Structure 1
Amino acid sequence: MQLTAAAFLDALHAEADDAERDKKKRYLHTGPDTQVIGVRMGTLFATAKAYHRMPLDQVEQLLASPYYEARMGAVSILDFQARHPRITDAERRALYDTYLNNHDRIDNWDLVDRAAPRVIGWYLLDKPRDILYDLAASPDQWRRRTAITATLFLIRNHQYDDARKLADLLADDPAPLVRKSVAIARRELGKADTP
């Protein structure tokens, strides 16, 4: 199997379904240029898992695609790579950079949620968190959602301060999909029974 963006897209097109395409179009919050192939999420995730060793330059090609499923596949591959038990810090940094350098293509709530915790949050586990505050100050709602969503991995690892601060910063965000992530982070903080 060739681990290329073109091969991945061919695999997705082979699974296209008109009913699924119509369903997805109803909930996407992406720009008008986004196209939808119509692939079930389970099939899409299974395909991404099969391609999880795809080189990052090919992942970037998927992120550049007009197809929603290509971009969801790309962030899923980033997430699968971040979970690898023998990943090095340099490899984790490369995933982090790929996500942030292509953030303009991560333009729906589920694209953020699929990768931000492990790709951004995990990388920052033992590093300064300034980038999260920069993202939280962005005029782009998806960057702000990345900022708070990335903290879910920090919360799971008993690091609560940045999640609390970012939740406070974004509590009155004008975007409902950012406020929803704030509510999720606060719920997780509550479950952790933080002091």
Structure 2
Amino acid sequence: MATTADVRRDLAGLADPGRAAATSRFLQMAPGGYGEGDRAIGVSVPDQRRVAARYWRDLTLADTAELLAGEVHEERLTSLFILVRKFAKGDEAERGRIFRLVLANTGHINNWDLVDSSAPYLVGPWLLDRDRGVLDRLAGSDRVWDRRIAVMATFAFIRAGDFEWTFRLADRLLRDPHDLVHKAVGWMLREVGNRDRAAAEEFLAGRYRDMPRVMLRYAIEKFEPDRRRAYLSGTV
């Protein structure tokens, strides 16, 4: 039976100091950055996915939670890839356990790549036909990553043609202080627009002038050039 030691051994064998330095810069792990205090060893995302594919069946949820609590960034991301695989293949009881494990460990999901690799595939799908009040709690958190989890979870709803909670959280987070939340909200509004342009523009109509610029730019990224210019100049 595989253990966390096997996963850590395989990741360590794939580590690259040059990539580690680049990852540290990209995810702002230096003092003062949003990822301050984290540590990368330099394993590519495709390699992490391969490690997850190798061990997801044998690793227990307790072992996966141990990886998620690790100090190495790639261990945490690999653990989330494992959980996504387990969730996709699991029965209702297993999926519920994974959802609760993720919510109990949001403190370890502490960079945008960790959020974006898990919230749309674990949190959102579990809440599709359930009470979504937990998203309001996450959106009200002091932690930027909790707020991004709330927004990114709505990607699962958008894929199902349900935009209500994307709009609800976008309204709530319209003046959020962090650009990583602005980008997530804008991204989800763009995904709405990709599926229902009229719904997206109806939401933007009374709000676009008050949006942070980066949120608006993300939201209208796929619009026609003339339409984008009109939004950015405030003349829609």
- Count of residue correspondences: 191
State the match for 2:127 in structure 1: 124
Aligned mates of 1:157, 1:171 — CA distance in 2: 24
Does 1:170 pair with 2:173?
yes
State the match for 1:24 in structure 2: 23
Structure 1 portions without partners, runs of 5+: none
Corresponding residue to 2:149 among 146, 149, 152: 146
CA RMSD of aligned residues (A): 1.2
Does 1:13 pair with 2:29?
no
Does 1:108 pair with 2:111?
yes
How far has the Cα of 1:40 moved from its partner? 1.3
Aligned mates of 2:154, 2:144 — CA distance in 1: 16
State the match for 2:189 in structure 1: 186
State the match for 1:78 in structure 2: 83
Aligned mates of 2:117, 2:71 — CA distance in 1: 18
State the match for 1:46 in structure 2: 50
Question: One-letter code of the match for 1:68?
Answer: H
How far has the Cα of 1:81 moved from its partner? 1.6
How many percent identity over aligned positions? Answer: 35
How far has the Cα of 1:3 moved from its partner? 2.5
Structure 2 portions without partners, runs of 5+: 28-33, 200-236
Aligned mates of 1:116, 1:155 — CA distance in 2: 13
Question: One-letter code of the match for 2:12?
Answer: H
Q: Does 1 or 2 have the higher relative contact order (CA < 8 Å, sep 6+)?
A: 1
Write the deviation string for residues 115-172 of structure 1: whole angstroms up to 9, x where unpaired: 1011100000110100001000000000000000000011101111111101111122
How far has the Cα of 1:187 moved from its partner? 0.4
Aligned mates of 2:36, 2:122 — CA distance in 1: 24
Question: One-letter code of the match for 1:3?
Answer: A
